Amino acid sequence: MNEALPDVPEVRVVGLPQLTSGFDLVERLDLPMHLKVHGPLEPMGGEQLAKLAENINLKGRGGAGFPFHKKLRAVAESAIKRGVRPVVVVNGSEDEPACRKDTVMINRAPHLILDGALLCAEALGARTLVVGVTRESTQRSMEAALAERGLSNSRRSALRAWVQRNPVRMVTGAAASLIRSIDGGPAIPSGRKVSASQNGVGGAPTLLSNAETFAQLAIAARIGPERYGNTGLYDEPGTVMLTVSGAVARPMVIEVPTGVPLRYVLQLAGAPPVPQGVLTGGYHGKWIDAATVNEAVVSRNSLDAVGGSLGAGAILPISQETCPLGESLRVAQWLAEESAGQCGPCYLGLPAAARGLEDILNGGGPAALEALKQVAQNVKRRGACSHPDGSAMFLESTIKAFTDDLAAHVLGNGCGRPVEGVLPLFEGGRAPTGIPGGGESEENGPSRQKIFVDWTLCRGHGLCADILPEVFQLGADGFPTVAQAKVPRYAEAKALRAVRRCPALALRIEEDTRAQDSSRSNLPVLSQGRGRRALGRGN
C-alpha cells in the first residue's frame, strides 16, 4: 500500500531551475538568502504587470488554468469602479493527497510567492494580503516569511498581512471556501456563484490565485518576458511544477520546462516502463493509457489534446499488476467523503457514484455501468463548487480509459488482479465536513430524518427538487432519482416544506432510528423510468 506523501518530498529539476533556484544550497530560503539567489524586485504598475502576465501567457496553476492577466484587470476595473481597495489572496491550500508542489514552494521558497503577491498588491493599491494554508508546516514557513519582511496584521500597517489556516479538506481549496473562511465563516463554499474579482473578501474585489502562479509572476518580473519565453514552449513558456507519485520508486516534486516528454518525467521518478495508465491532473483529473503517454509532453494544451489534464500538476502512473477500477474506487470513495455535505449533487451524488463503481466491481453487470454513467452525469454543474464536476470527470475518465478491464468486470468475472493501493490517500478518518476543526456543528451533524418517495402517488411534478436540491434530483424522465435518502441536518426545515407542498402528497418523513454512527445510507438510485435499481449494498 502506498503511504501518504510527506509535506516536502524529494525535489528535482530538469534543465535550469527557476522556481527551485537555491534549493541545492539550503532547505529554506530565508529573506537574505532569497535576495542573494533571486536579487531585488522593482515595483510595477498595474497595466505593466497585466501585460507581463499576458505576454508570458500566465495561467492559474491551481487547476482551472484561468488567464492571470484577465483576473488582474478585472479586479483593478472593479476596484476603480466601486472606489474601494481590493484584497490579494494567495491560495496555498493544497488538500489533495497526490499534490505537494505548492506545499514545497511555501516550505522552501516562501519569499518568491510573496514577491508575486506583493507586486500585485502594490500595483492594485491593496491594503490587505492573506495567504491561505492548511498544513502546520506551511503555516510556520509563511508566518516566518511575513515576519522576516516586517509584515503583520496590525491596524497601523500600510499593508495588513496574515496567514489563514484551514482544515485539510478537498473543498477547502475552492476560492469561495477560502474567502468565506477569511471572512470568519466555515471553510466551505457559500453556494453563491459570485466572482471573487467582483465580490470577494469583505465584499471587496479580490485577486485570488494559486501559490505557484504568484511565484511564476515573480520570476517573469525579474527576468522579463523575452528571457522567460526562452524556456519551454512558445505558446506556454516557462516551467511547470509537478508532483509525481503512484507506482513510482521515488515520489517527487519536479520542476520541468514545458515541452518535456511526459515519459521522461515518469522515468526520472522510476515509474514502470509501460504503465497501465497515468492519472494526469490529480483526483479531479483524467486518465491516459500507456500508448498515449508516449505522445504527450508536459503542457496544458498537449495533455488536453490526448485526453489528459494538467490540472493541479499531479502525475500518477499505475502498474500492469493492479486493478485500475479498484484503484479508482479508492479515490472515488475518498472524493465522496470530502463533501462539505451541503448540496445534493455532492452529499448524495458522489457516494452514490462510488457505490455504483463498487457495484460494477462486485458483478453488477451492464445495468450497474449505465446507472453509474447516469449518476456521474447528474452531479455535474449542480454543486456549490467544482468538487462534484471534478469528481464526475475522474469517474467518466476511468470508464473511458480502461475499457478492457471494464468489460472484464461488467461482462465476466473481473480482471483477476488485486488492488495494490498505489494512489496516495490521507491516513486516518476525518468527518466529512468542511467546517474549521474538521468536527461537526449542530447544523452539519448526523441526519435525524429520512425522506421517502411513494411511487404509487408520485406524478413527477418536480417541486421536491426545487425545494430540496440537497436530496432530490430529477432523472431524464422527470421523476426523482432517489426513493429514500437521509436529510442533512441543516436541510430538515426544507424537507418538511417539500413534504407539505408536494401536489401529489407523495413524500413522507420518518425519524431515522438507526445508530447515528453509520456514516452512509444506502441510496436506491433509479435508472431511466420508474423501475428501481440499487447502486450499492448495505454497509
- Tell me the CA end-to-end span of the chain in Å, nearest whole number: 23
Q: Does residue 367 lie within any of the structural domains? A: yes
**Is residue 242 within a helix (H) or strand (E), and if so which, with residue range?**
strand 239-244
Residue of 233, 238, 210 lying closest to 117 (CA atoms): 210
CA 373: distance to chain centroid? 21
Q: Does residue 533 lie within any of the structural domains? A: no
Check the CA dihedral 143-147-150-156 and report its sign. Answer: positive
Boundary of a domain, candidates 192, 226, 260 = 226
CA distance 165 to 186: 12
Q: Show Cβ contacts of residue 480 under 8 Å, excluding neighbours closer than 6 positions.
A: 453, 458, 464, 465, 472, 473, 474, 526
Q: Which three cell numbers stand for residue 148?
A: 522576516
Looking at the structure, tell me whether residues 221 and 96 fall in a common domain.
yes
pLDDT at 435: 29
CATH number where 469 lies: 3.30.70.20
Looking at the structure, tell me whether residues 314 and 328 fall in a common domain.
no
Strand bridging mode 128-133 / 87-91? parallel
CATH number where 262 lies: 3.10.20.600
Looking at the structure, tell me whether residues 299 and 349 fall in a common domain.
no
Q: Which DSSP category does 260 fall into?
A: -
Q: Does residue 524 lie within any of the structural domains? A: no
Looking at the structure, tell me whether residues 404 and 459 fall in a common domain.
no
CATH number where 220 lies: 3.40.50.11540
Strand bridging mode 239-244 / 252-257? antiparallel
Q: At what angle do helices 387-401 and 349-361 cross, to 10 degrees?
A: 20
Q: Does residue 188 lie within any of the structural domains? A: yes
Q: Which three cell numbers stand for residue 38?
A: 533571486
Q: Show Cβ contacts of residue 425 under 8 Å, excluding neighbours closer than 6 positions.
A: 4, 97, 330, 331, 334
Q: Which three cell numbers stand for residue 299?
A: 503542457
Cβ-based neighbour number of residue 319 at 10 Å: 19
Boundary of a domain, candidates 318, 340, 362 = 318
Residue of 112, 92, 113, 114 lying closest to 103 (CA atoms): 92
Looking at the structure, tell me whether residues 248 and 213 fall in a common domain.
no
Looking at the structure, tell me whether residues 108 and 22 fall in a common domain.
yes
- DSSP state letters, 311-380: TTSEEEEE-TTS-HHHHHHHHHHHHHHT--S-SHHHHTHHHHHHHHHHHHHTT-HHHHHHHHHHHHHHHT
pLDDT at 434: 30
Tens-binned pLDDT, residue by residue, of the chain (539 aa):
456 788 899 999 999 999 999 999 999 999 999 999 999 999 999 999 999 999 999 998 887 788 999 999 999 999 999 999 999 999 999 888 999 999 999 999 999 999 999 999 999 999 999 999 999 999 999 999 999 999 999 988 999 999 999 988 888 888 989 999 999 988 888 766 778 899 999 999 999 999 999 999 999 999 999 999 999 999 999 999 999 999 999 999 999 999 999 999 999 999 999 999 999 999 999 999 888 999 999 999 999 999 999 999 999 999 999 999 999 999 999 999 888 777 777 777 888 888 889 988 988 888 888 888 888 888 887 777 888 889 999 999 999 999 999 999 998 888 889 999 999 987 543 433 332 333 334 444 456 788 889 888 898 888 888 888 778 888 878 888 888 888 877 678 888 888 888 888 888 888 765 534 443 333 233 232 333 333 233 33
Looking at the structure, tell me whether residues 109 and 192 fall in a common domain.
yes
Looking at the structure, tell me whether residues 314 and 356 fall in a common domain.
no
CA angle 122/22/142 to nearest 5° reads 50
Q: Does residue 273 lie within any of the structural domains? A: yes
**Is residue 287 within a helix (H) or strand (E), and if so which, with residue range?**
strand 286-289
Looking at the structure, tell me whether residues 96 and 179 fall in a common domain.
yes
Boundary of a domain, candidates 193, 226, 259 = 226
Domain range for 144? 11-226
Q: How many structural domains are present in the chain?
A: 4
Q: Does residue 461 lie within any of the structural domains? A: yes
Q: Which three cell numbers stand for residue 257?
A: 520546462
pLDDT at 534: 30
> pTM value?
0.80
Looking at the structure, tell me whether residues 205 and 312 fall in a common domain.
no
Q: Does residue 238 lie within any of the structural domains? A: no
Looking at the structure, tell me whether residues 328 and 309 fall in a common domain.
no
Q: Does residue 425 lie within any of the structural domains? A: no
Looking at the structure, tell me whether residues 282 and 329 fall in a common domain.
no
- DSSP state letters, 436-487: GGG---TTTS---EEEEE-TTT-----HHHHH-TTT--B-TTSSBSBSEEEE
